[in-house]
């Protein structure tokens, strides 16, 4: 299986929002849609994806038993049951790629009952718009071809980094859950703008475009966030007043506590 490059057949278990993003990434990276088979318990959802991407659908047994590569995109609480249902079905040597938060490579390998190579991935939701951040960890027996295949299709959704598996919980706390922190901050900015007298639509537009522009500046300027923050902050000016409030409320400590909570929850999910 996959000894000469990309797999011939890929099974995707779980075709929700992230599952669809990965299907799209596979096709964008050059994989034939007719060689992708999904297992999705919601019949209308499966029909929607078949029509949209010209892929195939099958039962769990059909999807797994025919796969050269298996993408697991299920909820953490469902992982044990899925592994139990497919134990022994996956061909020996077929690659398993897990997108399930908290679940360790060893847990997956033992649950499968075969000596299948496993790659663990933590993506995030900007994957949906081609601006994702994914961190991958390679299990025992993963070949260079298999790793290259996974990096290749993930790069069509954004950026990819390799990390040791024991850092995946920290990745989850930073980039995996990070978009929600960003959205919560924007929500608060919009609400504050409204409280200061701005119409809701104007406050929303100002906040969202400010975030888009700031992210683009950070990505393209080559300057650190510290330098860019300092460039905006005049002594005793309006920005300095706002940042002083952040400091007095200990924003850095709040963020650290929040990320630690996310990391700890990821560890609990194991």
Residues forming beta bridges with residue 122, ordered by sequence position: 135
Nearest to 99 by CA among 27, 158, 173, 168: 168
- The pTM is what? 0.89
> What kind of fold does domain 10-166 have according to CATH?
Rossmann fold (3.40.50)
- CA 114 – CA 109 distance, rounded (Å): 7
- CA 127 – CA 135 distance, rounded (Å): 12
Helix axes 17-28, 43-53, angle to 10 degrees: 20
- pLDDT by residue for the chain (270 residues), tens digit each? 444 457 889 999 998 899 999 999 999 989 999 999 999 888 899 999 999 999 999 899 999 998 999 999 999 999 999 999 999 899 888 999 999 999 999 999 999 988 899 999 999 999 999 999 999 999 999 999 999 999 999 999 999 999 999 999 999 999 999 999 999 999 999 999 999 999 999 999 999 999 999 999 999 999 999 999 999 999 999 999 999 999 999 999 999 999 999 999 999 987
Kind and range of the H or E element at 252? helix 251-269
Q: Report domain extents, the chain.
A: 10-166, 178-269
Is domain 178-269 in CATH 1.10.1740.10, yes or no?
A: no
């Amino acid at each position: 299986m996959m000894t000469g490059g990309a797999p011939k057949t890929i099974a995707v278990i779980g075709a929700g929002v992230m599952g669809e993003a990965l299907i799209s990434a596979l096709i964008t990276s050059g994989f034939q849609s007719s060689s992708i088979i999904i297992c999705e318990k919601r019949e209308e959802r499966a029909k929607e994806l078949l029509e949209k991407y010209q892929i195939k659908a099958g039962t769990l047994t059909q999807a797994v038993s025919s796969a050269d590569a298996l993408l697991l995109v299920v909820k953490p609480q469902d992982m044990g049951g899925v592994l139990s249902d497919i134990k022994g079905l996956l061909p020996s040597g077929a690659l398993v790629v897990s997108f399930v938060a908290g679940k360790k490579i060893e847990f997956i390998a033992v649950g499968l009952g075969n000596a299948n190579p496993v790659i663990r991935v933590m993506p995030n939701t900007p994957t949906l718009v081609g601006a994702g951040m994914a961190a991958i960890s390679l299990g025992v027996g993963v070949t260079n071809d298999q790793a290259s295949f996974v990096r290749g299709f993930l790069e069509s959704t954004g950026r990819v980094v390799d990390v040791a598996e024991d850092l995946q919980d920290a990745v989850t706390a930073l980039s995996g859950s990070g978009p929600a922190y960003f959205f919560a901050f924007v929500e608060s900015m919009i609400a504050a703008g409204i409280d200061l007298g701005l119409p809701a639509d104007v406050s929303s537009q100002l906040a969202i475009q400010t975030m888009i522009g700031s992210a683009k500046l950070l990505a393209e300027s080559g300057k650190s966030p510290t330098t860019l923050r300092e460039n905006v902050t005049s002594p005793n000016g309006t920005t300095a007043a706002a940042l002083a409030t952040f400091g007095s409320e200990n924003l850095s400590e709040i963020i650290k506590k929040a990320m630690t909570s996310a990391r700890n929850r990821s560890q609990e999910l194991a």
